[in-house]
Structure 1
Amino acid sequence: MPSYPLPSGERVLVLEAEPGPERREALAGWLERARGGQALFSQVLDCDFSQGGVWAGVAGLLGALLPRIRAVAPSLLVSHDTELAAILPQLRETIRPRHRPLVELASDEERFQLHARERADRLLHGAIGLLAEFHAADPAQGPWVLVCEHFGRAGDLSRRFFRELVRRRGAQLDLILLAVVDPGQGDATCTELSRACQVSGVRLRLAPQDRASMSPDVQRAHAHAACELEHRVQGEPDAVEASLPRLIHLWEQSAEPENALRWRAEGLRLCVRQGYYEDGLRYGEPLVGALEALCGGDPKARWDILGKLCTCLSATGRAERAARLLEEEVIAKSDDPALLARAFHTLAVYHLRYLPRRNVRLAEQCARRAAEAVSRLEPSTDEARTLTIQTNNALALVRLQEGKPDEALRICQASLALLDEHFGPHGRPLQRAALMLRFAELCLVMGAHDEALAHYSAAIAIDPSQSDYYGMRGVAAFKAGRLLEAEADFRQALALSPPHAEIGVNLGQCYRAMERAEDAIRAYSSALELEPENVLALVGRAQAHELLGQAERACADYDAVLLLTPDDALALANRAVLHYEAGRLQASVADLDRAVSLASHTPELYQNRAVVLSDLGRRAEAIADLSTYLRLRPDAEDRAEVEEKLSAWREALVHAAPSARGPRHD
C-alpha cells in the first residue's frame, strides 16, 4: 500500500495524487496512523462540490460533530442556529434561527433586496466560532485530524472555510489538515493554503485510473435513481436543497443530462437567495448556452436565469461580463417590455455602482429606456407598478450622483406614494424598507441627520431582524455625534448576525471617539481576527494603543498597515511620531521624508519633520521645512510661536557658521 510521511510540524499537508482505489488506501493508512497517535477527532470529508454542493466538507464536519455538541454544549445549537440552519438544511425542522430578516422569508417575487456578499463570510466565521466554543467546552482533549478529500473540487465557501479554520483556530484545535487534490492541483492549493500557515506538499505517483465510459445500464440506473429522488423530495424545499448536488450528478451521469439543467437553475436560485454568489456561478454559467432549451419563448423564465446569473457576476467583481450578457442575451434578443425594463434598470445601476468606470450619462440613458419599456405595459398591473418603482430608484440614484438630491428626493416620494396607493401601508415590506434606506441616504447627503435616522428607524420597524439596518443607522448616528446611540446600534447588529468584521470596526471607531480605548482595542481585535488585513482596523487599534500610552503596540500596528499599504502617508506620519518619542530619530525622519513625498501639500508633515531635523542638528533643513509650513498654512494659529522659533534657529545657525574669510596665512 502506498504511504507518505506525516507532517513534521506543519498543520497543513497537501497530497497530490491520482484519484482511485490506491489513493483511498493511502488515505486510510495515513488516517489509521493519525488515530494511533491519539487523535481526539478524525474524519474524512468529501469536499467535492458536485457531490455536496456549496458547503461540501463543511456540512460533513458539522454533521459528524453534532451528536457530541448536543451532549457537551447544547446551548451552542441555539447561539449558532443561523449558521447551522444555513449549512445543514436537513436540521431546519428542529433548529429554527431566532433572527430571520425579511430577505430570507419573502418569496422570490417580493424580494427587492439581496443578502450582502459578506453574509457568506459571516456564516463560515460563525461556524468556526461554533467549533472553537465546542472545543473549549469539551472535557476530552486531543488533536483534530481532518482529511479533505477532493479539496481541489471544492466550492469557494468550502475552501475558504478550511483555510480560515486553520488560520484562526488551527493551534487551539491542535489541528492537522490533509488537503487531497488531483494531479496538477497541488502547487496552486499549496499557495492558497500558505496564506493561513506553513504548508507541506507531497506527490504520490499512482497508476492512472481508467476512465471507462458508462454503460447504458449504468446510465439507466442513474436516471432511475434521479427520478426516485425527485419524487421523494417533491414539495419539500429543504429536502430539495439538501439533495440538489446529488440530483444534478445523477442526471449528468445518465443518458439524459439535459434534465440536470433545471436543477442547476434551482441551484443558482438558491445561491442568489442565500448570498453565495461565487458558488452560484458554478451552477449558473453552464445555463447560458442552454437558455433556449430551458426557457423557450418565456421571457420571465429567461430573466429568472439571466438576472440571477448577472447578480452573481456583479457581486463578485465581474460586472463587465454581466453587462455583456444583458446586452447580448436580453436587449438584443427580446422585445418583451418587462424583460427590457429589468435589463435596462440593472444596466443603469451597473453604470453607477459596479462597472470599473462610473458613467452617469449612460446610467440615465438606461433608466430612461427602462421607463419607456414600462410605459408599454398595462399600467394597472402590479408588475408595471413594481417596475415603475424600480426604475424610479435608478433615476433617483442618477440624480444623486449628479448632485441633485432634491430631485432624487422628489422621485422617491413619488415612488412611496405609488407604493401606498396600490399596495397599502403594509404591502411590499421589503420594497418599502428599500425606499426608507434611499430616503435616509438622501437625507445624509443633504445634512439632515435627524431625518436620516428616522428613515433608518422606519426600515428597522419593517424588518427588525435585519442586522445591516442597525449597522447603517449606527453609522448615521456616529456621523451625527450621537455616540451612545451608535454604540447601541452596532452592538445590536452584532447580536443579530454571525461575526461581522465591518460592524466590529465601526464599533471600534465609536469607542475610540468616546475615548474608551480598551473597548476600542477589543472591538478592532475581533474584526482583525476575521480580516487580519483590514487597514482601517489596524490604524484604529494603533491610535487606541496610543491613547493608552502603549507606543510599541501602536508601532507594531502601523508596521502592519505599511506592509499592506506602503504609501499610507498618515500611517507613516503617525509612526514617525512614535519613533521620535522613542528616540529613534533617523527612523522618524525617514518616515517623514516618505510621507512628505506622498502628501507634499500637508503642512503638519513639514512642521513635524522640522522638529526632528533640528534635533539631528540639521538646522538649515529644519528652517526650510518650518518656512514651508508657514507658506502652506498662512493663517496658522501658532504662527507667532513658529516665527519666534524660526528666528531663534536662524540666529543660532549664523553663530554656528565658520568665518566667511577662512583661516589666515602669515
Structure 2
Amino acid sequence: MSTTSTHVWLTGPEPASEPLPQSPPQPRPRREPRQPTPAPEPDITVDCHRRLRGPYTGAGGLLRALLPHIRREQPELPDRHRVEIHAVAPELRGLVADPPSTLTDRAAPAERTRLHPRTRTRRLAHGIVELLLSYVTAADLTRPLVLGFTRVGEADPADQEFLALLLRRAEPGRITLVVHTRDAEPELLEQELASALRQYATHRALPAAPPRRFPHRTHPYALVRAFVTSDGTSVDPAESAAYERADRHVRARLHDARAAELHARVEQGGVTLGLGALPYHLERGSDPAAAAPVLAAAAEDTLAMGCYHALLDLARRAQAVTPEDAPLSTELSLHTKVTTALALLGETGEAERLHLRMRERYSNPLVRLLGDYALAMLHARFHPPERRDLSAAKALLTRTVTLASRLPGTEQRAFHTAFQENGLALTELRLGRPADALRLIESGLDRLRRHLPDTAHLLHRSVLLRNRAEVHAALGRLHAALADHDAVVAMDPHHPEHYFDRADIRRRLGDPAGALADYDRAIDLAPPYWELYFNRADLRLESGDAEGALADLRHAAALEPDRADIRASLVGALLGVGDLPDARAQVTEGLRHHPDDAHLLCERGLIALREGADTSARADFDRALAVAPHLVSALAGRATLAYAAGDDDAAVADLTRAITLEPTDPDLLYNRGYAHQQAGRVYAAHADYTAALRLPGADVVELRARIEECARRP
C-alpha cells in the first residue's frame, strides 16, 4: 500500500518513447496493496500537452479514462456534475445526461451578447475536483487513487488551474497526484500551480535516463513520421531533428495525412481534437489556409467555454492563415475574439491598441460602431481602475447610438441601437444617473418589441431586463426589480446567475424563504463557486440556521481559502456557536495570508475578549481600526473593553461612532444606553433604550425592563 503523505512533483527529462496512446489506460483502483516506491505508480497517467486536445487536454483525458468506471460504480454521481463534464470532455456526452440549456447556449454566435466571466474555468475545475473527491469518498478504496500528469509545463492555463486546485483540495491519502514537469523552476507554469506544487507536493528529481532505441524508427522518414504522429509533441531529439531537416513537401504530406485521420476521428465524436492536434496539422499541411475555418470554429468553441487563453491563441492563429481577400466579416469576427480575450485576461492596453488600429483602417460604419463600443467598454469596465474614464466611455457610446440609428435594415438598426443604448445605460448608472439609465434601457426594450420578431435576440432581451432590474434596485424600486428578475427567470430558467441576482432582491424585500430557494436552485444548476455558498451562509445566519451557515462557509473556504472575507465570516460563525479553538485556528490561517486584514484582526480580538485576554483584544481592535476606522464590530469590541475597565466615556464614544455608521442596530443603542445608565446619565440611557425599542430585532422584554429602571431613578 502506498505510504506517500504528500503529492509528488517529478522533474527531469522525459525519456523518448513510443507514441502515447490517445486514450489513457483504464484505472485500477482496487489492486492489491504494494510496497512503497520512490514515486507511486499511477493508476491513470494523462498527457497534458495542449497541442493534443486544447485547453482541457489533461482534465479531459482523466475524465475519459475514469468516468466509465465512476458511472458503473456510482451511477448518479456523474449527472450531478454534467455541466462540468460536458464542458471539459464533450466526448463523454453519451455517458452523462445533457445539462439544461440556457439562452446563452442556444444563441447563435451573432446573437451572443453575454460572455462567461473569467472565473468560468475555475468553477469548472472545482466541479471536476468535487466529482473526484465524491467518487473516492464513496468508493472507500483500500489505498489512494494515484493520478499521473505529464508534460504539465505545456498544459493550457485552464488545465494548470485544475491541477493547482486538485493539489490543494485532494488529501494524498485518498487521491495522490504525481505531476511531472521538465524543470524544478518551470517558467511555463502559472503562478498558482507553481505555488501549489511547492506547498503540497514533495519534489523528486528524476535521474537522466539513457535514450530508448527503436530499431524500426532509425530511417529518417520513419523519424519524421513518428514526430508528426506525435502531433508535434515528441521529446525524442532524433525525431525533432529529422523533422527539421526533412523536405517541406514531405512534411506537408505527412501533416495532410495525419489531419485527414484526425478529422475522421473528430467526425466520429473526438470533438476536442479540433481544439488541438487537428488545426496544428492543417497549419503545417500543403494548404495552410484550410486551417482557417477550423481555427475559427475552435476559437468560437473556446469563447463559448470561457477559456480565454486558448481563445486568444486560436484566434491569433486563425488570423495568421486567413487569406487576405477574406470577407470583412471574417476579419472583424477574429479581431473581436482576440480583443475580447485580451480584455478579459487583463491585457486592456493591447486590446485598445488593436481597436484603434482597426478603426484607422476602415471607415465602414459597422466597424466604427463596434470598435467605439469596445473602446467604451474598456473605459467603463475592463481597464484598471486608474485608467477608467466614464466620461470618455459616455462620449463614445453617444456616438455609437447615432451610428446605429443610421444602419441599413430595420432589424439590424433596431438591434444595434438597443445594444448601444444598453452600454450607455451602464455608463450612466456608474456616473450616478440611474434615471437616465432606466430611460435608455426601456427605449431599447421598446425598440426590440416594435421592430424584431418575438423570437429574435431573446438573449439580449433577457440582458436588458436583468439590467433594468439592477437600475430599479438602485432607485429603490425593489418590487419592480423583482418583477424584472421574475421575467428573466421565466425566459431563461436554467441560468444560475438569474437566481443569484433574484435572491438578493428577495432578501431586501424580507423574503428569506424565497431567497434561500433561489440560492438552492443556483447551486443545483451551477458549477461550484464561492459567492453562492457565502451569500447563502449569510442568509442562513440571519434565519438562525447556524449549522447550515457553517457548512456553507466551510465549503466557500474550501473553494477559495485565501479570501479574507470568507475566513472572517467563518470565524464569526464559529464564535457564534462557541467553537473558540476552531475559530482561533481559522483566524490564524487567515492572518497568515492577510496579516493586515481588519476583519480578521477584529475577529482575533473578539476571540481574545472571549478568553479574557483583554490586552491582546485591545491591541487587535486598535490595529483593525487603524486599517479600517469605520469597522463597527471593532468599535463595539473596544467599547466592551472600555466599559469593563470602568471607562464609560470611552465606551460611549466608540459606541456613538458605531451607531453613526449603523443607526438601525438595536444592540448598539442598548449597549450605549447601558453605559449611560451605569454612569448615571439616566435621561440619555432612557433615550437610547426607547430608540432601540423601535428598531427591528430589538430585545423588547429587556429594553422595557431597562426603561422602567430609568423611570424609577430620580
Relative to the length of structure 2, the TM-score reads 0.80
Paired residue total = 628
In structure 2, the CA distance between the partners of 1:331 and 1:644, relative to structure 1 (3 Å rule), is same
State the partner residue of 1:349. 377
Out of 215, 231, 235, the residue aligned to residue 246 of structure 2 is 215
One-letter amino acid of the counterpart of residue 600, structure 2:
A
One-letter amino acid of the counterpart of residue 422, structure 2:
N
One-letter amino acid of the counterpart of residue 380, structure 2:
L
One-letter amino acid of the counterpart of residue 225, structure 1:
R
> How many percent identity over aligned positions?
25
1:150, 1:182 within 8 Å by CA — same for their partners in 2?
Answer: no
State the partner residue of 2:10. 14
State the partner residue of 1:62. 63
TM-superposed CA distance for 1:584, in Å, is 1.5
One-letter amino acid of the counterpart of residue 68, structure 1:
H
Q: Secondary structure at the match of 1:170?
A: coil
One-letter amino acid of the counterpart of residue 215, structure 1:
A
State the partner residue of 1:333. 361
Alignment of 1:370 with 2:373, yes or no, is no
Moved more, 44-53 or 603-612: 603-612
TM-superposed CA distance for 1:21, in Å, is 4.2
Q: Secondary structure at the match of 1:498?
A: coil
State the partner residue of 1:191. 194
1:450-482 superposed Cα distances (whole Å, 9 cap, x missing partner): 111111111111111111111111122123332
Counterparts of 2:197 and 2:283, CA distance in 1? 35
State the partner residue of 1:418. 447
Moved more, 215-224 or 465-474: 215-224
Counterparts of 1:542 and 1:580, CA distance in 2? 14
TM-superposed CA distance for 1:19, in Å, is 5.7
Counterparts of 2:482 and 2:526, CA distance in 1? 21
Counterparts of 2:266 and 2:175, CA distance in 1? 40
TM-superposed CA distance for 1:257, in Å, is 4.6
2:291, 2:318 within 8 Å by CA — same for their partners in 1?
Answer: no
2:639, 2:651 within 8 Å by CA — same for their partners in 1?
Answer: yes
TM-superposed CA distance for 1:240, in Å, is 4.9
1:348-383 superposed Cα distances (whole Å, 9 cap, x missing partner): 222111111331110011102222332442142x32
In structure 2, the CA distance between the partners of 1:634 and 1:490, relative to structure 1 (3 Å rule), is closer
Counterparts of 1:109 and 1:187, CA distance in 2? 35
Counterparts of 1:482 and 1:245, CA distance in 2? 49
Counterparts of 2:306 and 2:545, CA distance in 1? 35
In structure 2, the CA distance between the partners of 1:69 and 1:359, relative to structure 1 (3 Å rule), is same
Counterparts of 2:284 and 2:326, CA distance in 1? 28
State the partner residue of 1:86. 87
State the partner residue of 2:228. none
State the partner residue of 1:554. 583
State the partner residue of 1:483. 512
State the partner residue of 2:329. 300
Moved more, 355-364 or 296-305: 296-305
Moved more, 586-595 or 410-419: 586-595
Counterparts of 1:53 and 1:521, CA distance in 2? 39
Alignment of 1:323 with 2:352, yes or no, is yes
State the partner residue of 2:540. 511
TM-superposed CA distance for 1:112, in Å, is 1.8
TM-superposed CA distance for 1:75, in Å, is 2.0
Counterparts of 1:269 and 1:246, CA distance in 2? 17
TM-superposed CA distance for 1:444, in Å, is 0.6
In structure 2, the CA distance between the partners of 1:384 and 1:172, relative to structure 1 (3 Å rule), is farther
Counterparts of 1:247 and 1:368, CA distance in 2? 44
State the partner residue of 2:687. none
State the partner residue of 1:50. 51
Counterparts of 1:68 and 1:603, CA distance in 2? 53
State the partner residue of 2:231. none
What does 1:461-480 correspond to in 2, within 5 Å? 461-480=490-509
Counterparts of 1:577 and 1:377, CA distance in 2? 63
2:7, 2:201 within 8 Å by CA — same for their partners in 1?
Answer: yes
Alignment of 1:284 with 2:284, yes or no, is no
Alignment of 1:268 with 2:299, yes or no, is yes
1:607, 1:625 within 8 Å by CA — same for their partners in 2?
Answer: no
2:147, 2:175 within 8 Å by CA — same for their partners in 1?
Answer: no
What does 1:168-187 correspond to in 2, within 5 Å? 168-181=169-182, 185=186
TM-superposed CA distance for 1:59, in Å, is 1.6
State the partner residue of 1:651. none
In structure 2, the CA distance between the partners of 1:606 and 1:82, relative to structure 1 (3 Å rule), is closer
Counterparts of 2:88 and 2:656, CA distance in 1? 62
Counterparts of 1:543 and 1:219, CA distance in 2? 64
State the partner residue of 2:123. 122
TM-superposed CA distance for 1:393, in Å, is 0.5
What does 1:581-600 correspond to in 2, within 5 Å? 581-600=610-629
Q: Secondary structure at the match of 2:203?
A: strand
One-letter amino acid of the counterpart of residue 16, structure 1:
G
State the partner residue of 1:145. 146
TM-superposed CA distance for 1:396, in Å, is 0.9
One-letter amino acid of the counterpart of residue 224, structure 1:
A
Alignment of 1:243 with 2:246, yes or no, is no
Moved more, 182-191 or 84-93: 182-191
Q: Secondary structure at the match of 2:57?
A: coil
Alignment of 1:155 with 2:147, yes or no, is no
1:182-206 superposed Cα distances (whole Å, 9 cap, x missing partner): 6862896883333651331415446
Q: Secondary structure at the match of 1:499?
A: coil
1:237-264 superposed Cα distances (whole Å, 9 cap, x missing partner): x655443312122234445555444433
1:498-519 superposed Cα distances (whole Å, 9 cap, x missing partner): 2222111111111011121111
1:596, 1:605 within 8 Å by CA — same for their partners in 2?
Answer: yes
Out of 391, 403, 406, the residue aligned to residue 361 of structure 1 is 391
Counterparts of 2:6 and 2:265, CA distance in 1? 45
CA RMSD after TM alignment: 3.4
Counterparts of 2:634 and 2:553, CA distance in 1? 27
Relative to the length of structure 1, the TM-score reads 0.85
In structure 2, the CA distance between the partners of 1:486 and 1:633, relative to structure 1 (3 Å rule), is closer
TM-superposed CA distance for 1:494, in Å, is 0.6
Counterparts of 1:281 and 1:314, CA distance in 2? 10
Alignment of 1:225 with 2:258, yes or no, is yes
One-letter amino acid of the counterpart of residue 278, structure 1:
H
TM-superposed CA distance for 1:122, in Å, is 2.2
Counterparts of 2:63 and 2:656, CA distance in 1? 65
State the partner residue of 1:656. none
| Structure 1 gaps, min length 5 | 1-5, 649-666
Q: Secondary structure at the match of 1:171?
A: coil
State the partner residue of 2:709. none
In structure 2, the CA distance between the partners of 1:568 and 1:149, relative to structure 1 (3 Å rule), is closer
One-letter amino acid of the counterpart of residue 542, structure 1:
V
Counterparts of 1:8 and 1:171, CA distance in 2? 7
TM-superposed CA distance for 1:115, in Å, is 2.1
Counterparts of 1:522 and 1:33, CA distance in 2? 36
State the partner residue of 1:386. 415
